[in-house]
Chains A and B, each alone.
Chain A
């Protein structure tokens, strides 16, 4: 068996004749669970509490009940804009990323000994700092940047990739897919390596054509990896921040403003930590709902038989 990406959890066995290790376990768990509690559990709950306050960076917080949420849902059109932008980004980014990753990893798989090298090449932008990646894309996409110079060779007057409200979001999506697709290529590549060549050979002998083999054999066998990629890619897409922050500053207008960028600005530019926390909880609820929805469909969509 080869490495299959997995979101499944093993259960630890209970060795026979062993009684509790309460004190010892407490010792080993102390650093990890204390940190988990202080830096994850407490902030998560605190975030909910802060969202009920009018909370400036400096000065006294004032309890306002659900005002921040009411304002978010009914009094702040920007919230709906950034939510819409984030959803649009998430859908386009996830679909493009997965389709491209599936195509590329299948292609790389067919290249035999050349495959692993290119798989790693496509993985490079995943690992290099997003800030450096975003800055070079900003340079390439400026009005007189290399992309438009290249287009000019063919007599095409290149558009303003980052400051045209029709194109800016597309540019962000393109940059993000370039940055992230290598992750899924690696996961799907591992999944493809796990499919027995005998199975494909048997399908071929039974008369299945290339497309049929892909859709009827490869895709179902790959479904655990695809499920994993989909969950991870969607979660990642809702957190998009660095790309709009550095490429477009959320503009032009609000056309590329996203939930996390808006959260950051409310917290640290507009001095509204309470409202920013309400946005954080909106993000949290959305991500959890989508993830839960995916897991509830897991049995129907994913084939775990080997």
Chain B
């Protein structure tokens, strides 16, 4: 099956989480200027939907369509942001999103670290078999699981609760896989020295391993934060009360209620996009590393 063949592949690189060398510098030729001009144009076209989102969020509703392809309306309409803020309990929805994403990322990271440490460093029966079964679920679409998970949440009376948004999706294999790969590239000597000095296993994990694995932990935290932040299908299923909604669900409820009111809707969308944009700008190194290890793949 897939997991076995995965294991037979080439040995991955110990340095998978190290910084990449910068691309080689080249001499500037005339072609380079043309190429740079072209990429600026391509980049602008590609980014256009976001620019349009912000432009629309600042237009009076009456001018959303009448201004045609023009970015600017007769005046800048900040009141769309106020309207978005009051149309749904938007402050509550943003708070929910942050709570769910932060709690989910924290839970995922801690659980992944503990599993990864056991799979990388401890000896026990059927360890590698268990790991491969676990890893196989990287390619399992979560959509397959939503019906039984819904029934489970219903039985536990957790429908319309934030724990229902957080807990079921904190146990994927991606985090444990990524941290385990990193641990295997670290020498065991630090841990053995600590053990000889009399440190117990928990002490070793806390004061020897933890400082060394900060980089992969950050990758796992960033990826699970974004996964929770963007998740739509599961909140749509398990939440039907807007006061418990996260931002994507809030946006879709909003568009359902006032589908034609594009100004406030795009204002809300802009607000939803900003945290993700900050993550991309501030944490691009973590993102690049995580993507190369299968992040965003199986969820």
Residues in A lying within 8 Å of B, measured CB to CB? 1-15, 18-22, 24-26, 28-29, 31-33, 35-36, 38-40, 42-44, 46-47, 50, 104, 107-116, 118, 120-133, 135-137, 139-140, 142, 144-146, 149-150, 152-153, 178, 183, 186-187, 190, 193, 197, 224, 228, 231-232, 235-236, 238-239, 241-242, 245-246, 260, 263-264, 267-268, 273, 276-277, 280-281, 283-284, 287-288, 291-292, 295-296, 298, 304
Instruction: Return the 4 tightest CB-CB contacts between A and B, nearest first.
Output: A8-B9, A35-B171, A32-B115, A304-B10
- For B50, the chain A residues whose CB sits under 8 A away are 124, 128, 136
Give CA–CA (A169, B199) in the complex, Å: 61
Chain A, Cβ-Cβ closest to B121: A12
Give CA–CA (A55, B251) in the complex, Å: 31
Contacting pair B143 A241 (CB below 8 A): yes
In addition to A8-B11, A9-B132, A127-B287, 12 A-B residue pairs with Cβ atoms within 8 Å of each other are: A3-B17, A18-B123, A28-B118, A32-B111, A36-B134, A46-B152, A112-B26, A120-B284, A144-B65, A264-B233, A264-B236, A268-B150
Chain A nearest CB: distance from B296 CB in Å? 7
Contacting pair B296 A126 (CB below 8 A): yes
Given A136-B49, A136-B269, A139-B56, A40 contacting B36 (CB threshold 8 A): no
Given A133-B49, A304-B10, A118 contacting B265 (CB threshold 8 A): no
Contacting pair A130 B232 (CB below 8 A): yes
Contacting pair A1 B139 (CB below 8 A): no
- For B190, the chain A residues whose CB sits under 8 A away are none
Contacting pair B288 A131 (CB below 8 A): no
- For B224, the chain A residues whose CB sits under 8 A away are none
- For A242, the chain B residues whose CB sits under 8 A away are 232-233
Contacting pair A6 B124 (CB below 8 A): no
Give CA–CA (A305, B85) in the complex, Å: 56
Q: From A146, A224, A263, give the contact of B69 (CB < 8 A).
A: A146
Task: From A122, A127, A153, A241, name the one whose CB has the most chain B CB atoms within 10 angstroms.
Answer: A127
- For B9, the chain A residues whose CB sits under 8 A away are 6-9, 298, 304
**Chain B contact residues (Cβ within 8 angstroms of A): what range?**
35 or more
- For B226, the chain A residues whose CB sits under 8 A away are 127
Tell me which residues from 97 to 127 in chain B have a Cβ below 8 Å from any Cβ of chain A. 110-112, 114-115, 117-125, 127
- For A287, the chain B residues whose CB sits under 8 A away are 139-141
Chain B, Cβ-Cβ closest to A191: B292
Give CA–CA (A131, B235) in the complex, Å: 12
Chain B, Cβ-Cβ closest to A114: B36
Contacting pair A129 B272 (CB below 8 A): yes
Chain A, Cβ-Cβ closest to B273: A128
Sample of 21 A–B contacts (CB below 8 Å)? A8-B9, A8-B11, A9-B177, A12-B180, A18-B123, A28-B115, A35-B111, A39-B168, A46-B151, A116-B23, A120-B281, A132-B248, A140-B49, A153-B69, A187-B291, A231-B139, A242-B233, A260-B143, A264-B237, A267-B147, A280-B143
Tell me which residues from 178 to 218 in chain B have a Cβ below 8 Å from any Cβ of chain A. 180-181, 184, 188, 201
Contacting pair A29 B115 (CB below 8 A): yes
Q: From B122, B141, B150, B284, give the contact of A28 (CB < 8 A).
A: B122
Contacting pair A6 B293 (CB below 8 A): yes
Q: From B11, B118, B188, B279, give the contact of A29 (CB < 8 A).
A: B118
Contacting pair A139 B262 (CB below 8 A): yes
Given A2-B21, A135-B265, A139-B266, A246 contacting B12 (CB threshold 8 A): no
Chain B nearest CB: distance from A141 CB in Å? 10
Q: From B32, B181, B237, B266, give the contact of A10 (CB < 8 A).
A: B181
Contacting pair B124 A22 (CB below 8 A): yes
- For B74, the chain A residues whose CB sits under 8 A away are none
Chain B nearest CB: distance from A261 CB in Å? 10
Chain A, Cβ-Cβ closest to B289: A3
Contacting pair A118 B43 (CB below 8 A): yes
Residue interface bits B126-141, CB-to-A below 8 A is 1, else 0: 0110111011010111
Q: From B5, B16, B123, give the contact of A6 (CB < 8 A).
A: B16
- For A224, the chain B residues whose CB sits under 8 A away are 10
Contacting pair B7 A124 (CB below 8 A): no
Chain B nearest CB: distance from A10 CB in Å? 5
Contacting pair B49 A40 (CB below 8 A): no
Chain B nearest CB: distance from A174 CB in Å? 11
- For A288, the chain B residues whose CB sits under 8 A away are 2, 139
